[in-house]
Every structure is written in structure tokens, then in C-alpha cells.
Structure 1
Amino acid sequence: MASLRSRKENHQLFFDFRWNGARYRAQTDEVDSPAARKRLAPKLESLNEALRTGTFDLGKFFPDLAVPLTSTSPAATHEVLPPPSVVTPITSAVPCSLSFRSFSDQWYSEFRVGWRKTYDATVRGLLDQHLLPRFGTTAVSAVTRAQILEFRAHLSKLPGRREGSKLSPARINTIMLILRQILQEAADRYEFTMPMGRLKPLKIPKSDVMPFTLTQVQDLIARVRPDYKHYLTVRFFTGMRSGEIHGLKWKYIDFERRLILVRETIVGGEEDYTKTDASQRDIVMNSVVYDALLAQKKATGNRDYVFCNLKGEPVDTINFTKRVWYPLLRHLGLELRRPYQTRHTAATLWLAAGEMPEWIARQLGHASTEMLFRVYSRYVPNLTRNDGSAFDRMLQQTLSRDRPSAQDPQPPPSPWRLAA
């Protein structure tokens, strides 16, 4: 398939395509811009159609015209497609022996230095489990768009983590993203057409939050094992992520100023930097959290971690979820949900109390209030009555003057009748 590419040295656009076993570049006089790409789009579409149907004629599409344009005015360049000045076949610089496996190993070793340990493990796992078994022996320059689409369709049929489920669109998009990064780097280095151009990610269904009510929170804290009572209290009323509360150390507890300093996190059983820079924050202790931490200090104050096991090691997320959290939800007859819902619960309780969204965003470690309103919009209290009720009152007050009297014939009821 043909594509429009931009030269690094002068940003001029050129058509990049393969025909009869050779690669061609057809230079244009257009400088890369959205408007220029829009003007060249019909030409690109015709070129791809001709290549697909086998009707491509090099002389017809790209005649060797050395004659300059008759007009160089802006109006003329918008009306006339500049003829390509150079059409040159080039051969791929990729060695035939350079397989996808060889290049992906090189790419992995070069780029992993900038990754977190968890992302490193994710990439390595996706390479070994999905990408290398499918593309490992194929030359990196020979991977086609058809093969990629077939591979994505194959992924959609694979079983997911839960019994009876399939791989989620989010997981498939992650696998395809790694494939895209490898092929893009190879295409840039060895100058071949990137086969994943214009391939959009799968649409991910919007997941709804499942926060607990304050009554349910009280029941959960009251019924949980005694050694996890303070732990749940802090989780529910601070909105800390699992890794953040598991990595919380006593040196980050400021009782004097009543602050929890979020500075580290536990990821994959190891200490790491927080999820983002905005996640480095100071959480204000309310009275309930303050009392819970004072009580917890009597139990683990001689340890590094605030919440830890008998060996002084931080709480393990999987162990807590399977042995404490899910059994507790089943015991109370509550729908199973991830412990992460404690974070959503804190956000919705803050909103219900009327706290300022900017303050809540800072407590949660969000860089702005955008995610707050996007995720929790239906939990934002209507402090200014921006729900259409003011408009409804105006309509009732205005239209009441025109309503028929008791003696006038009454119209049939309407499904759009205003509420009384």
C-alpha cells in the first residue's frame, strides 16, 4: 500500500509505494501540513486503488515532468496538484537475514533502559507469548498489513484471564502498540513502508465505577479481620492506590501537620517511583484516618512499613484480595469488585460532602480535574442546581399564564407534559 511521507531534511511530502518488486518514491512540491495532505489525499487514494486492482501505470500516475508550474501564486498551488519531480525506485536496505525476532531483541535491549520494571516485564511477556510466535521468523520488512489484521483477529479469539472471557480490547491494543513501536523503528532505520499506517486501536468500552456507600464502608470496616481494620480505614478515606498504601512508610507520616506524604509505591513486590509526578502529593488526614494511624503505630511503629505482615514486609495485593477482600465481600453479600474501588469510594464520598473538585483532584494525585469530572460526573453534587430545574421552573411560570381554565376543553395528556 502507498503512503504519504515527509522528508526529514526539507519536510517535503512524497508518495512511498512498492510496485513490481521494487520500491518507489514519488517526490511532490508540497511541504508537509494538514492542508497539503488533504490536497494529496485523492491522489493517494487513486494510487492505492490502482495498486490493489493491478491497473497501476507508472507513466500515467507519475510522468517525468521537468517543466515548472505556470503559476506560483497561492491560488494556483491550491487548485493544481504539483507534479512529482522525481520518481525513483529504491531497494530495501534491510538484510534478508534480519528477522522480526532479531530486530525485536535489538529494539528491546536498546529501549528497556527507559522503562519501569513492570513495563519491562509486560513488554517481555507480550513478545514471548504473542509477537515472536507469530512474526519471529518473518523478515521485519516483510510483515504485511494483511498479516497484522489477521493477527489482531486471532488475538480477539484467545481466552482472557477470567473463565469464559476473551482477551479485552485494552489488552489487544497493548499488544498491537508494542508491534507498532517495533515496526515503526525498523521502518525508520531501514526505510521501508510502515505496514500499520492508519490502523486505529480497538474501541475500549467505558468501565463504570462501583463505589461503596458510607453505610457499606462502615460494615466492611466493622467486619474485616482486626489486623486489617486500620488498613481499610485509611484506604477508604484517603483514596490511596494499592501500591501507594502498601509502600507507605512511617517516615512519611506527619502527625504534627496531619499529612500523609505519598513518595513511594510498591510495584511487583519492589519499591518504585509513584505512578506519575502528580502522584507525589500530601494527603490531608481527617480525624478518622488520624486516629486509625495512631492506633496502627502501636502495632507496627517499630517497622519501616505502616501496613505489613509479621516479617515486616509490605502487604501483598494478590494475597489481600484473595484471602481477605473477596471473602469479606461474600460474607456481607456485596457484589465482588476490585480493592481499587476503595479509591473510587473516597472520591465519591468527598464529592457527596461538597468538597472542592480541585482539592479532591490533588488528594487523588490527578494533574487536573478533568478525570474527576469524567469518571465521577454523576456523583458531583448539584450545588448550583445546574440540572435543568431552573429552566423547568421558568417554563412553568411562563406557560401557566396560557394554561386553559377549568371551563375550557382539556387537551389529551401528552407524554411530554411538564412535571407538576
Structure 2
Amino acid sequence: MDRKKQAATVPSGIEVRDGAKGATIRIQFMYKGVKCRETLKLPPTKANLAFAARLRGEIINAIEFDTFKYPEYFPDSKRAKVFGHIVTTHKMADLLQAALAGYEQAVANGTLSPTTLIGYRKIINGHLLPEFGMERVRDITPARLRNWIGALGVTAKAARNIISPLRSVLDDAMNDGLIEFNPLDRVALKKLLTQTSEKSTYEVDPFSAKEIAAILKHGSEQESNMYQFWFETGLRPGELIALDWSKVDFVHATVRIDANVVARITKGPKTAAGVRTIELSPVALEALLRQKSVTWLMGGRVFLNPRKHRPWEVEQQIRRTSWQPLLKRAGVRYRNPYQIRHTYASHRVSSGANLFWLAQQMGHETTEMIIRHYGRWIPTTGNLAQHPSASKTNAS
């Protein structure tokens, strides 16, 4: 195309420039009394020239309504600074490392649990820094995030855990004026995760009465006491580890649960419902009475590591040194220790326990979790989930 013919087809305010690497398009407009020229790295095709014309019209309209921000249209332009606009070149690595330092300080201040910090550190170092570390925060687009989330290949819960610290970092960047909006806010996350996330393979897999009997038969004295009590109360692992003799009421056959051990740190339960007084069945009380002769005079924790005669520190310690060998000796198919809690719940539900009472025993705020996880064990006769007057529990 000759020059005259080309000029006739180029829209007003648009020009074509010949460079060493080929022809490009340049937009011209007036901003604050200054004639501005910005280059688009696009070949001067008919479609690209039409796009440039539309872009120029949008810019002129934004200037007229005083909403034009130079970095939004030309983030690499030097003119943005001339007009007093912030041009950010912050890398995501800097923001993510700053966030991690903030989490570490929160742990030191006692406002964040060490376990949460461990989780955030794994996510930031294992997922976010390798994926986004070298990118500028302003270059993180909704489309970029959608593609990344869709390819994570994890469950929806795991994906949300990974996204959580990223959202926090991007929120801070927006509040600090580094970006105009959080790109995650423009991702239909629920829909995306429904379409792309893996289904969780974890399932409630309770132990039968025969399996429980075999486990208790092959355990040492302290192991049998602990697991019998655990199967009869359904405590969370950290709650069992934290149980102190001062919280046991033999007169009323109850135990006060108000502590939880996580990552060797003793703290309160995660929710208000977690602080509770649970009723002890005769079988649970029997296990405590036997254990009383072992650790009562020592004071402090009810259940100790029999190998070291010291309190258990973490759930993994129980699993590795006691639970796994015990199941092997008993000839019982392996399931993780948390299935003890599921066993307690499913057995109580199938025996007709009042679901509101059971939710309180387990530290849930409502019966929703009970019905969701153990609904298949609810007896088909009657409607025990709806009637608080239903029997609390039958014999264990």
C-alpha cells in the first residue's frame, strides 16, 4: 500500500510509524494541555487501526470526565510520572515476602497461630512465589488467575486455602494504590472451582465394634485407656492431647474441653462452640478411672506418651509411634486416627442419638456438619434430626 492510500485509511489521531522492527501504530491525544503520543506495539492492519481509533476515543472520553489514569492505558510510559500518576513496578515476590514477614510478626504478637503460619509459608513458598514471584503486581490479570486456578488440580477446599494469602496480598496492593482493583474480585471463583477442582477422596470410614475390641485388646495399658476414652468421646486429636486432670469431674461424669494442642502449642478451640462440657458414658468413665492410677498423681495431662512418660506433643506422634503399630498388631485395616472421631459420631447417630446434643458434644455450632458427614447413618424410622426430645444416646 502506498503512502497516500495508507494515509487515507488511517483514522484521525492515529499514525503509522516505520521502525527497525517494522511498522507500528501511534495514538495522539491532548492531556492537561500537553500533546501526547503513545505507541501501540501492533502492526497497522485494518483491524488494529480500528482498535486504536476506539482506544483513542475511550481515552478522550475519560479525559473529558476526569477519569483518565495514564498507567491504566500505558503502564510503561514515562509520561505517567510527569503527570503525577503512580507507576508501580513492584514485583509479586516483594509483596509475598512482606506478607510472610507480617504473618511471622503476628505469631510473635500472639494474634496468629503457628499452625496457620506454617500453612501460609508452605503456600507462599510452594505455590505463589514460583508462579507469580517474578511478575509485576499490575500484570496479574483476572484471565491470568483464572487459567492458574483452573490448572491447580486440587480439591476446592485446597484451592481456597492456596488463594487465601494471594487475595490478602492483592487486597493490600489495592489499598496501597499499587493496583486499581483486586483481580481476584473479577474471578467467578465458586463457578470456576466447581468446574475445575478435583473431588475430595477423603471419606468417613468408621471402625466396627469388632475392630474397636481388637484395637483395645492389643494395646498396652495406657494405649487401651486412651483409645477407649477417645472412641467414647470423639475428641479432636489436639483436644485429647491437651486434656488435663483438672478438667475431669468424676462426680458428674463430665469433662471440660477448653484447650487444644496444635503444633506443640496449647491454645483455645478454634470456635466458641469448641469450648464445652461433654458427658461421659460409663465406658469412657471406666477408661479414665483406670488411667487415674497411672497419671493422676503426676498432675497435668491425662494421657502421656508411654515411651517417654511425657505429654504427647502432636497428633503425628501418636499416629507414628502408637496408632500404626497397634493396628498392625490387631490386624485391623489402617485408617488415620481422625476416624476415631468419625466412629464416635456415626455410632451415636446410628443408635438414635439426639443430633443437637451430639453437635454440642462434638463442638459444632449447629447440626449441619453432623447431617452432612453422618446423615447416611440416621435411622430411617422417625425424624430424630428434628426432635430434641429424642433419646440422647444408647449403650455404647
Taking structure 1 as the reference length, what is the TM-score of the superposition?
0.66
Determine whether 1:91 maps to 2:85. no
Q: 1:94 to 1:328 in 2, by over 3 A?
A: farther
The CA distance in 2 between the partners of 1:61 and 1:149, in whole Å, is: 27
Shift in CA distance, 124/323, structure 1 to aligned 2, threshold 3 Å: same
Relative to total residues, which structure has the larger helix share, 1 or 2?
A: 2
CA shift in 2, pair 1:238/1:369, >3 Å: same
The amino acid of 1:88's aligned partner reads: F
For 1:205, give the aligned amino acid. Answer: K
- CA positional deviation for 1:229: 0.4
Change (3 A) 1:383 1:154: closer
State the shift of 1:195 in Å: 2.4
* Worse overlay, 208-217 or 132-141: 132-141
- In the alignment, is residue 308 of structure 1 matched against residue 296 of structure 2? no
Deviations along 1:6-26, one digit per CA (max 9) or x if unpaired, are xxxxxxxxxxxxxx99xxxxx
Q: Counterpart of 2:311 in 1: which secondary structure? A: coil
Task: Tell me the amino acid that sits aligned with residue 307 of structure 1.
Answer: F
Runs (5+) with no aligned partner, structure 2: 1-25, 28-46, 73-84, 385-396
Unaligned runs of 5+ in 1: 1-19, 22-49, 66-83, 157-166, 387-420
Give the whole-Å Cα distance in 1 for the aligned partners of 2:283 and 2:383.
31
Q: Residues 86-124 of structure 1: CA distance to partner in whole angstroms, max 9, x if unpaired?
A: 642343665544221222233344456242211012112
Structure 1 CA distance, aligned partners of 2:356 and 2:268? 24
2:171 is the alignment partner of 1:184: yes
- Relative to structure 1, the CA distance from residue 54 to residue 187 in structure 2 (aligned partners, 3 Å threshold; closer, same or farther) is farther
Equivalent of residue 370 in structure 1, options 368, 371, 389: 368
Contact 1:348 1:379 in 2 (8 A): yes
Two-structure CA RMSD over aligned residues (Å): 3.2
Deviation at 1:300, TM superposition (A): 0.8
* Structure-1 separation of matches of 2:256 and 2:86: 52
Query: Shift of residue 150 of structure 1?
Result: 4.9
**1:205 corresponds to 2:199:** yes
Determine helix, strand or coil for the equivalent of 1:175.
Answer: helix
Identity %, equivalent residues: 25
Q: CA deviation at 1:178?
A: 1.9
Shift of 1:321: 1.2
| Aligned mate of 1:354, from 352, 374, 382 | 352
Query: How do 1:178-327 residues align onto structure 2 when only pairs under 5 Å count?
Result: 178-190=165-177, 191-196=179-184, 197-200=186-189, 202=193, 203=197, 205-206=199-200, 207-301=202-296, 302-309=298-305, 310-314=308-312, 316-327=314-325
Q: Read off the aligned partner of 2:166 and give its amino acid letter.
A: L
Tell me, yes or no, if the aligned pair for 1:170 and 1:204 is still in contact at 8 Å.
no
- When residues 316 and 116 of structure 1 are mapped into structure 2, their CA distance, relative to the original with a 3 A threshold, is closer
Alignment of 1:84-163 (within 5 A): 87-91=67-71, 96-110=88-102, 113=106, 114-152=111-149, 155-156=152-153
TM-score with structure 2 length normalisation? 0.69
